[in-house]
Amino acid sequence: MALYLAVPARRHRRAWNVLNRAFRQEENRIASIGNNESYRRYLRKCRNYAAGRRLPKGYVPASTFFLVEESGSELLGVINIRHRLNDHLLNNPGGHIGYAVAPGERRKGYGAEQLRLALEICRDKGINPVLVTCNKDNIASARVIRKNGGVLEDERLSEEGRVFQRYWITL
């Protein structure tokens, strides 16, 4: 099955609703693709953030992509690429890339492929090296990051008191 990253578009609305529901059921605030907003508003926000417009205080420009299988009828994940780092993203959980795989699609290699594809986009945008972070107890995410060339720099304590790891990937 061929996978690719797609910019969110109208044609993804139904699949977005399914993915959004799945993330809400597990209370995955990291993915937070919906935030109880309409898909139209979500698309507008994605376009604005990618262009660096109407960013909330402390945010940086960021592009959102869906991991899509060949037919395009199902969204397997969502990934955000932050175009640059601010002090908060550099020193707290965040980094250049945040991603989540659909709950029913985990442990199938989609996370590693999603990150690999995102790193190609980072290379094209001149983002190098790339910082990717994960909670220390998220073994699967750490494995995905290492599989894509991530080198652990250090571990830090988040504001919430959780240990997170900071990995750098040189492209």
Give 61's DSSP letter. -
Q: Indicate the SS3 state at residue 135.
A: strand
Q: What is the rounded CA–CA span in Å between residue 80 and residue 96?
A: 8
The reported pLDDT for the residue numbered 22 is 85
Q: Block means of pLDDT (10 residues each) for the chain, length 171 residues? A: 92 90 71 70 95 96 94 88 97 95 93 98 98 96 98 95 97 97
Those residues with Cβ within 8 angstroms of residue 150's Cβ, 6 or more apart along the chain or in another chain: 132, 142, 167, 168, 169
The reported pLDDT for the residue numbered 20 is 85
Determine whether 38 is exposed, middle or buried from the number of CB atoms within 10 Å of its CB (0-12, 13-18, 19+): exposed
Class of the CATH-defined domain 3-127: alpha beta
The reported pLDDT for the residue numbered 24 is 81
The reported pLDDT for the residue numbered 70 is 82
Q: Give the DSSP H or E segment for 112.
A: helix 110-125
